[in-house]
Amino acid sequence: MKILYVASEALPFASTGGLADVIGSLPAAVRGKLGADADVRVVIPMYPTVKSKYLDEMTLEFETTVRLAWRQQYCGVWSLTHDGVRFYFIDNEYYFKRPSLYGSFDDGERFAYFGKAVLKLISETGFYPDILHANDWQTASAVIYLKQKVSLDPGYADVRVLYTIHNIEYQGVYDFAILGDVFELSDWDRHVVEFDGMINLTKGAIVCADRVSTVSPRYAQEIRTEYYSSGLSPVLNLYAPKLCGILNGIDTKYYDPSADPDIAFPYSVKDRKGKAKDKKELQNICGFADSPDTPLVVMVSRLAAHKGFDLVRRILEEFLANNDVQFALLGTGEYELEDYFSDLSRRCPDKCRAVLEYNKALSKKFYAGADLFLMPSKSEPCGLAQMIASRYGAVPVVRETGGLSDTIRPYNEYTGEGNGFSFANYNAHEMMHVLEDALVLYHNKKAWDALVTRVMQMDFSWEASADRYVELYRSMLSETSNLNVKEAFHEGTDH
């Protein structure tokens, strides 16, 4: 089976969040399942974040130009093999040599170019995959262009497309003024991408893809409702037969407290002495007293509203004032939240510390040092941090939503079952009371140790989920392609 993953980020080359973890680990896991017959490749843009040790390993496949409406843009294609998977990098410094991966005024154009470049990569290399697996709105244009060009390049007719939504809040929404000028789509094709009076690339990809998936079964249900879908529920309901949810896994070799070069004192589920030392080290990093019996609550998160920060803001001071507890946060994001947490760190330096950085290595120290890991998301497609935290023996406290509710079962004080703490309503005091319950259990050493043992033993590897993807790919191959989408496009338009 030939599979091409298309994404805007992948570890270890470029990362702003969970998507990079998935693209950095799922392809190798799928390859592991399929064995020698599989040819699994990945394509991402070339960013300045790619470390020189990887640049040194790369070879230049070819150089060409890519046409985007009236533009003719340079396109270099570099490649290297990582973990048995061939990674392609689309090189265009004008589009991708920027200080951050996203957030430029011309993101629409940058990723429309990327979509065109992906098709060019396919035709130039002759690597027509059986499955093109596209991820999030930055790759939606590749899906749309591929289906649009089926009549012009018969090679695309046998390519089945899976489009995975990692977070429905980011859809790629643009004004119709740039339909032709940037997206190179004609007025005849506007209905493919039109949603709510705007160009909506995610909607276009949902229409065009053979199958649509998201990253947990619960989120697949949730995004069919108005509350969770950021507007797209009517489209997802219309195309519901295409939609499914497959839980992400994590790279259990990269996130392994017994062999993690980023933490000072490795430890395992059987011998957790190292964890106590890692906690002390994190307390030092945060400028807290190193008191082994004070529970340390940690968050590692993008500072975005949907991660539940309004709840945290509502109760944090009260929670810190009323309990013997320390709170440490690592992450960057919305300025208002950054300001709030730096201010609170200044006011309560012995109990609260925010490190406003996106730093993978430091995040491991946070997981390793934590007793409790807080993730009160308003919505959470899958969430990887609760799984990583579990690996490092930090007990998750989550809101019951999306992948959080598919991975964390609440602790039951009568039976001792469960692998974390959870609350249902998006309510700050409900969260605080659950946190306080967790603090009570923390001081019951025997019960706490049993819980941490269970938490560390959870299997969050790709093992089961890679099987689910392989099943999905196989079922897609046995179906006829979503070629009727061809009729959706205005015939014969090669702009």
Q: Among the candidate windows 18-26, 139-147, 235-243, 328-336, which touches ligand GLC by CB under 6 A?
A: 18-26
Q: Among the candidate windows 71-79, 236-244, 312-320, 381-389, which touches ligand GLC by CB under 6 A?
A: 381-389
CB of 462 to ligand GLC, least distance (A): 12
DSSP state of 15: -
384 is a site residue for ligand GLC (CB under 6 A): yes
Q: Which long-range contacts (CB under 8 A, 24 or more apart) does 410-415 make?
A: 411/438, 411/441, 411/451, 413/441
If the CB atoms of residues 376 and 383 are measured against ligand GLC, the closer one turns out to be 383
CB 135 within 8 A of CB 143: no
If the CB atoms of residues 298 and 384 are measured against ligand GLC, the closer one turns out to be 384
CB of 406 to ligand GLC, least distance (A): 11
SS3 category, 387: helix
Report the distance separating Cα 260 and Cα 278, nearest Å. 12
Residues in the chain: 495
Among 166, 277, 399, 454, binds ligand GLC (CB under 6 A): 166
Among 1, 2, 12, 17, binds ligand GLC (CB under 6 A): 17
φ, ψ dihedrals at 22, nearest 5°:
-65, -45
CB of 26 to ligand GLC, least distance (A): 9
CB of 91 to ligand GLC, least distance (A): 25
354 is a site residue for ligand GLC (CB under 6 A): no
CB of 246 to ligand GLC, least distance (A): 10
356 sits in the region (left: phi over 0; alpha: psi -120 to 50; else beta) called beta
SS3 category, 311: helix
CB 161 within 8 A of CB 3: no
Q: Which residue is nearest to ligand GLC (CB)?
A: 18
CB of 53 to ligand GLC, least distance (A): 26
- Within residues 247-276, the interface with ligand GLC by CB under 6 A covers 248
Closest CA to 377 of 319, 314, 326, 301: 301
382 is a site residue for ligand GLC (CB under 6 A): yes
Closest CA to 240 of 205, 204, 212: 212
SS3 category, 86: strand
CB of 249 to ligand GLC, least distance (A): 10
Contacting positions for ligand GLC (CB under 6 A): 17-19, 22, 166-167, 215, 248, 380-384, 403
